[in-house]
Structure 1
Amino acid sequence: MHELVNKVRMLRAGFVFSEPQILEIANSFQQAMTDGLTGKGSSLKMLPSFLTKPTGREKGIYLAIDFGGTNVRILTVGIKGNGEYRILKRRSFPLQDRGKGYDFTSREATGTDLFQFIAGQIESLLEPGQIYPLGFTFSFPSQQTGVNQAILIKWTKEIQTSGVEGHNVSEMLQKALVCKNLIQVIPRAIINDTVGTLLTSSYIDRYADIGSICGTGHNTCYIEPSSPITGKPMIINMESGNFNELPATKYDLQLDRQSQIPGEQRLEKMVGGQYIGELTRIIIQDFINKKLLFVSGRPEIFFTPYKIKSEDITRLLTDESPDLTDVSQWLKTICRIPHSLLEERITLRTIASIVIIRSIQLVTATFTGVLKHIDPSLEKRHTIAIDGSLYELMPGYASKLNITFKNIFKGKSDLIETKLTKDGSGVGAAIAAAIVED
């Protein structure tokens, strides 16, 4: 028991940061932003969007595609002006369905197959005689050369579709629409999901100047006051999930080695919903190997990569009963562990909590780096628009993020507001199309 307590204490010391450490990471992030903007070597790509804030007066009916992972959403959005909008129709569909015999995310699938499949899902949302300017949210690292031109740099989120990296995804979508004879759909803008989230929030909130995804993946964008391209305000997609100037533990290194892109997306692998379950599993596996947990057996779930999901972490953290009854039930039904000690259940919950606390601290550190860049003395109000399941659904995530801000900025933290922006990536694509059309 004493050895288990010491192991948990060492884990916490390696994961949870002090305020000076958070500020040190924030400063490194700010420097990486500057380096990226000025063309120096940086893990932040600092990609231009060629868009700035909407005026709030945009109007019309627009089509939006939201492609951010293995599920794609299509929306028709009525934008009414005065910061008002309404989702008129929506549908979502998976890019992989083994029951139906397809997987457009595998190496065997081509980009042509992928985009023709997406285009084929659009027709059911269209009204006869209506022209639909299209905004396309494409949430993968892409080099933009214009508001409707984007070349995929590299797939992330374990997608491997061939023939897309290094190609203009806007042109691939356009060809697919023509192939499906959807001539009433007119592509106008391509954006990242963080840009969409920021556009959606800034359409109704003039203080919104940072947008972030805290869900399966992680990335942040912001409004650069003076773009190196135009000298005017422009939304910059940082691809911040790739930030790598971070103190990594042996568990982070193990997760990185076994991933499909070792050495890349280091921040995302420490904070994103795609990885927090796996990171927790790797830690628990180490505890089991050291005979500190479940000494009477070897639960396979903790020795099978990616078997533990963010939903399991949520379940561990939600249980507040004195004997952790729900955790016990989870161990019985999901993990096939019929008997567990209370100390073991507490340890699992503590490990999950430590992983989540570090996620919150790292995300807050990067937001702090952005704020230091755009408002060094923190003299103005700022809204950080956030979408994603971690921020919305993980117990304590949003509140602890705001507490961390309070600790860092002391009396000035009231100038910072974080705001859940639902459907931001989809609605934002429609707003992007509206900005171009306006």
Structure 2
Amino acid sequence: MSDMSATKQLAGDMNSPAPQHSEVPLGTSTDNNVSSTNNNMSTWAMSNLQKLNVTELYTQQRQSLRPWLDFFNTNQFKPPANIKAGARRLVFNVEHFQTNYFIVIIILSIYCIITTPALLFILLAMGAGCYLVSLKNHESPLTIMNHQIAISQQYLAVFCLCVPLLLMVGAGSAIFWILGASVFVIFLHALFHQTPNQEAFGVQMEEMAPSSDYILEFKIDVFKTLKIVGITTGVLTAIGLGAYYIHRRTQSSKRVILRDEVRNILRPFQLTEEQLRRVMANLNTEMTNGLKSDDTENLDLAMFPTYVHHGPSGQESGEYLVVDLGGSNFRVSHVSIEGRNRMRLNNKIFLIPHSLLLGEGEKLFDYIAECLQRFIDDNKLSLLKSANYKFDLAFTFSFPCKQTSLREATLVSWTKGFSCTSVVGNDVVLMLQQAIDRRKGLKIQVVALVNDTVGTLMACSSIYRDCKAGVILGTGTNACYFENLDNVPKWTGVRDNIHKQVIINTEWGALGRHGCLDFIRTDIDRELDESSLTPHQQVFEKMISALYLGEIVRLIIVDLVQRSILFPGRMQKSPSIRPDYNIFLILRGSFYAKHVADIENDTTEDLSITTTILTSIGIHDPSYDDCYIIREVCKTVSLRAAKLAAAAVAVLINRLNMSSVTVAIDGTLFRHHQQFKHNLTRTLGRLVPRTHRLVLSEDGSSKGSALVAAVDRRLKTAPMTYDKTNLPS
């Protein structure tokens, strides 16, 4: 029967006279009538249930399935004219497309189950269990203690056993998703899909004048339907909420247990304020001792005077070349200083061949001179210069040196992977000058050797007149500050009205060499130290610098894996390289400080950033708990480093003893690791009551070093009387 015929028949039925009911005299009992009616209804229900079977139900639903081309016909999607029309359209489409909507719900359910592997596995296991029960009962009924168990009871037992597992894998969340997605899709389709039949249905419904009995029956049916829908929705909602609550509680309990185990391992890395103040006291003592003597064998800190006595005044000018050597590459810069410290910078980075890092020192300096020549020629810097013109060059050299003047510096030891022969114990300024002189036509004079911390300080002091300290927090760590010469007993240079202070290169990365930091060192720190290229040296640096933060985290991860807390089953007590195990995790240096920073800052709900990083280094399919624990490890290690750095900076501020002081800081940790910077600033605020300011130094190794050379030139041409403004007490 077509939809229009059905509509006409419905209208005809509604216009026909209402059925006549026999009246029951007042006072007559109706029990017999009610009983008779109930018996008739029961008989009708039983007869219909007997007639009903799955095949007939499938046939009926199959016949009511509407063509999918009609269902998805986009030309029929139009918004309803008003709320009343929308309500009619909803009623009609839900009835008209009921089978199609049922199939949509099935498709959404299948999609939800397939995309949840754990849920799919449990459902398959439940189906397999029911199938085995069926096979078993086909052979012989199940009997327990002479009592035969019905197959329906066995199915119920299988279902009850699977319910806790379903709740654990998120069945409640899946139910909510299916309900929400189904209601959303069906509502939108039924509201916007328009067919001619539904418009005719709406018109005829408006023209009908239904009897009061029909309206009453219709209202009762609607009320019953809404009641059933409400009860069903309430029950499903309660089940879903309960499942979701149990699932979250299960996950939360598991995570708390894991975090308790991890907390015991991380506790030694969590420093108290009392421990930080003890670090401050030890550092201050070692700095004072280092200012008294050059006995670097028995002292932690060398405290080298740099022979830089003044900051820029704003009157510096001129052109300068700068060579910045501090790693596997070096930078050549051309800095033009104009009035009031306005500077223009042009630079180029040159890669140092690995063979030169370990070869003869003379060849290394010859290579630097060659690159200087190429830089000058490429930038045509010699044009418009007189034949006798010589460039002043500042040499930024980020290795421990003992200076005897601004132009004389003896290398104490190589670090950062350098091991060139015939350099340690020699004057590196002289070696560079000799290499330059060997290249005919290269007219350069090395006028200053500058540590990178000094360059950091000088670059900021041109802007902030109260900047009296410079700190590097990057691949390594070091600091310098202005110290009164009266507090430097080992100073053998000039003492007069001009030279009242000097910048001290602390080399504080070596703190702890003689055990003053043993009270906060962990087994992980000792393991890292023993496996490093410089055992028992740079102890403080190995606890806070970017070169070692990633390695500390990696060693903790390996420890957690060995305890079966992380990645269970991938690594045993004695790790061996197996195809299913991440080889990168057992390689020293495979986890970087950048990984630590990115994981620490991962605020995504599913820790997707952490998952991506772990996958990139070969740890595939980490669980949420794995990622969560690793993030906690990164946070703890990074926080300890920031606290120790804050304690060290606090010592500088206290030693300067100024009412207000600015500290210039450079390095990848302070520049790019925002959480590290935040933790450092917050901790420093608790440790130091004095007014202070931390500022990022820009191009300190280039601009700052050029300023050192410029200040030296200015003082030579126009000697000054020392200004006591902002003099550290």
Q: TM-score, normalised by structure 2?
A: 0.56
Is residue 529–residue 539 contact of structure 2 (8 Å, CA) maintained in 1? Answer: yes
Q: CA RMSD in A?
A: 1.6
- Aligned position for 1:307: 590
- Residues 43-62 of structure 1: matches in 2 within 5 Å? 43-52=300-309, 53-62=311-320
CA positional deviation for 1:249 = 0.6
CA positional deviation for 1:16 = 2.1
Give the distance between the partners of 1:386 and 1:11, measured in 2 at CA: 32
Secondary structure of the residue that 2:540 maps to in structure 1? helix
Give the distance between the partners of 2:706 and 2:630, measured in 1 at CA: 43
Q: How many residues align?
A: 423
Secondary structure of the residue that 2:674 maps to in structure 1? coil
Residue identity in the other structure for 2:408: Q
CA positional deviation for 1:299 = 2.1
Give the distance between the partners of 1:167 and 1:308, measured in 2 at CA: 36
Give the distance between the partners of 1:390 and 1:211, measured in 2 at CA: 15
Unaligned runs of at least 5 residues, structure 2: 1-253, 571-580, 715-729
- Aligned position for 2:529: 256
Residue identity in the other structure for 1:32: E
For residues 214-238 of structure 1, give each alpha carbon's deviation from its aligned partner in whole angstroms, at most 9, with x where no partner exists.
1111000000022442452100001
- Aligned position for 2:607: 324
Give the distance between the partners of 1:58 and 1:11, measured in 2 at CA: 55
Give the distance between the partners of 1:369 and 1:15, measured in 2 at CA: 21
- Aligned position for 1:277: 550
CA positional deviation for 1:6 = 2.7
Give the distance between the partners of 2:317 and 2:265, measured in 1 at CA: 53
1:159 pairs with 413, 418, 429, which one?
Answer: 418
Secondary structure of the residue that 2:688 maps to in structure 1? helix
- Aligned position for 2:435: 176
Q: Which moved more, 1:131-140 or 1:153-162?
A: 153-162
CA positional deviation for 1:270 = 0.7
Task: Go from structure 1 to structure 2 and tell me whether the alpha carbon gap of 1:254 and 1:174 turns closer, same or farther (over 3 Å shift).
Answer: same
- Aligned position for 2:286: 32
Residue identity in the other structure for 1:105: L
- Residues 26-425 of structure 1: matches in 2 within 5 Å? 26-39=280-293, 41-52=298-309, 53-87=311-345, 89-96=346-353, 102-106=354-358, 109-126=359-376, 127-128=381-382, 129=385, 131-181=390-440, 183-226=442-485, 227-228=488-489, 229=491, 230-231=494-495, 232-244=500-512, 245-246=516-517, 247-297=520-570, 298-332=581-615, 334-375=616-657, 379-410=658-689, 412=690, 415-425=691-701
Identity %: 30
Q: Per residue, is there more helix in 1 or in 2?
A: 2
Give the distance between the partners of 1:125 and 1:3, measured in 2 at CA: 61
2:305 is the counterpart of 1:23:
no
Give the distance between the partners of 1:401 and 1:369, measured in 2 at CA: 14
Give the distance between the partners of 1:182 and 1:291, measured in 2 at CA: 66
Q: Which moved more, 1:124-133 or 1:1-10?
A: 1-10
Give the distance between the partners of 1:73 and 1:236, measured in 2 at CA: 24
For residues 36-75 of structure 1, give each alpha carbon's deviation from its aligned partner in whole angstroms, at most 9, with x where no partner exists.
1111742110001001222221110100011111121111
Task: Go from structure 1 to structure 2 and tell me whether the alpha carbon gap of 1:431 and 1:182 turns closer, same or farther (over 3 Å shift).
Answer: farther
Is residue 287–residue 301 contact of structure 2 (8 Å, CA) maintained in 1? Answer: yes
Is residue 3–residue 292 contact of structure 1 (8 Å, CA) maintained in 2? Answer: no
- Aligned position for 2:105: none
Q: Per residue, is there more strand in 1 or in 2?
A: 1
CA positional deviation for 1:157 = 1.5
- Aligned position for 1:435: 711
Give the distance between the partners of 1:384 and 1:132, measured in 2 at CA: 31
For residues 52-108 of structure 1, give each alpha carbon's deviation from its aligned partner in whole angstroms, at most 9, with x where no partner exists.
222221110100011111121111101113132221x20012223xxxxx53212xx
Give the distance between the partners of 2:601 and 2:357, measured in 1 at CA: 33
Task: Go from structure 1 to structure 2 and tell me whether the alpha carbon gap of 1:11 and 1:417 turns closer, same or farther (over 3 Å shift).
Answer: farther
- Aligned position for 2:65: none
Unaligned runs of at least 5 residues, structure 1: 97-101
Give the distance between the partners of 1:23 and 1:9, measured in 2 at CA: 23
Secondary structure of the residue that 1:159 maps to in structure 2? coil
Secondary structure of the residue that 2:613 maps to in structure 1? helix
- Aligned position for 2:192: none
Secondary structure of the residue that 1:437 maps to in structure 2? helix
Secondary structure of the residue that 2:264 maps to in structure 1? helix
User: Greater Rg, structure 1 or structure 2?
Assistant: 2
CA positional deviation for 1:199 = 1.1
Residue identity in the other structure for 1:48: P
Q: Which has the higher contact order (CA 8 A, sep 6+)?
A: 1
For residues 245-282 of structure 1, give each alpha carbon's deviation from its aligned partner in whole angstroms, at most 9, with x where no partner exists.
22211111011101111110011111111111111111
Residue identity in the other structure for 1:409: V
Q: TM-score, normalised by structure 1?
A: 0.93
Give the distance between the partners of 1:306 and 1:337, measured in 2 at CA: 15
Q: Which moved more, 1:110-119 or 1:77-86?
A: 77-86
- Aligned position for 2:85: none
CA positional deviation for 1:374 = 2.3
